[in-house]
Chain A
């Protein structure tokens, strides 16, 4: 048998490695995993559709809830913080609505993603699928809901005679950075929660605290000094601020906004890397516990 002449060197080594990784059924390096997820992306779509269907079909109002729920929340916060506590901001309901949507997306995704491996244990135990699919489906489902509930903000805006500023073109970027952030955190929480049920309980408290530590009900400019510096390390700040700038373009200086958003970007990438790494590292143990 004649051996086919192989080009020597790094390129060939890399090719051999890639052929091996590509042949893997599941697991392996991140590149192999992305390949596996891409190959089964129709499942991701089906799982997202399943989630939305169950949610919309089982309630009488269906899709209307996606609009009603945030509206009612805004109304409650407006009553408490606008009327009773007198957090005087112009068009306070719009002020809340513009930032509470990305917050609800963050909050909803993390709560759901944390339980995603546990609630799909039957599938994880029997179906040959990349496990990342389950937390990713949570992100997809909540992301779809977020986009479907965005009309609320525009409705409130129109109600106050306001129009979105030029910052609206940055909105998709803010969404993408938030997706990256919640994917990382979701992967981390899903694997940790599969091993320790306490994680989802702690998460609930942490999210509550995070809500008040993020500029949803008040502007971030209320804080000064060293505290403000630490405060701005929260990767949500930049994302929420950019969302708010769509309706309040002059409230935050462009330079501050840029800095805050860059912090968000760095934070999102960091959490994505750490979150996925945690997921990969714990996967073997998680599978035994489900």
Chain B
């Protein structure tokens, strides 16, 4: 199977201080090779490729660069070093409610969010009823979104985003939607999506999910790739690592 995602020597840095000054250098140098004093590298020297149909889980502690890496693959961040190459359409399931407009009705929002994620009007027409039915919002589609509860919003968002037909799916902790019933429902949807032989890169802290959905794991630590291999081995590595950390640090409040 050919590679569909290729990440080579990727690095990205962020400013530590709140105020970032606009420098003349920004206009001249395309790729920042010099590390400015107030920046830290959220990711550096990360390389891997993903074959078509592979399901990869990104593992690591908070702030290890998992979401940043996912965003780089989605193209919503651009690397300062190295290159990210993606071959094929990307369905980015990063945040569920991001595309919604509070003033518009549920119906208008479905069309808006759908088109943002690459659907044509006709495609949404065909899916519309199923989207509404899954979210169980039949009576609310002409209500402005600002009258929705947060659960209703994320149900609608999840229902739209999971209809994506792109060959590559990027999933960032979006499985926990709504109450118990909806959590179970969304689980089934995720399982269905992943069973279709699409390429998946996902971020999760839930080891059961990771083991269930992904055969391969990549462990990130402090912005660097420390392990890459079968999910069980990588999880083992991660667990051993965190246990050591726990022993070193005293957990006093």
Give chain A's interface residues, CB within 8 Å of chain B.
23, 25-27, 40, 42-43, 46-47, 50, 53-54, 57-58, 122-129, 192, 195-196, 278, 281-285, 287-289
Contact = CB atoms under 8 A, between A and B. Distances in A.
Nearest to B113: A127
A47 B111 CA distance: 11
Contacts of B121: 42
Interface of B: 12, 14-15, 20, 22, 26-27, 30, 71, 74-78, 80, 86-87, 90, 92, 94-95, 97-99, 101, 103-104, 108, 111-112, 115-118, 120-121
B99 A127 contact: yes
Nearest to A289: B20
A74 B213 CA distance: 64
Given A43-B116, A58-B103, A127 B76 contact: yes
Nearest to A131: B76
Nearest to B78: A284
B104 A128 contact: no
Contact of A27 (B78, B103, B108): B78
Contact of A54 (B15, B76, B103, B116): B103
Given A122-B98, A128-B74, A195-B20, 11 more contacts: A42-B120, A46-B115, A54-B104, A123-B99, A124-B76, A126-B74, A126-B76, A126-B92, A128-B90, A196-B22, A278-B27
Contacts of A289: 20
Contacts of A288: 12, 14-15, 77
The 10 closest A-B pairs by CB, nearest first: A122-B98, A26-B75, A126-B94, A46-B115, A126-B98, A284-B78, A54-B103, A25-B75, A126-B95, A127-B116
A122 B113 CA distance: 12
A284 B95 contact: no
B92 A128 contact: yes
Contacts of A53: 104, 108
- With most chain B CB atoms within 10 A of its CB, the pick from A123, A126, A127, A192 is A126
Given A42-B120, A46-B115, A282 B26 contact: yes
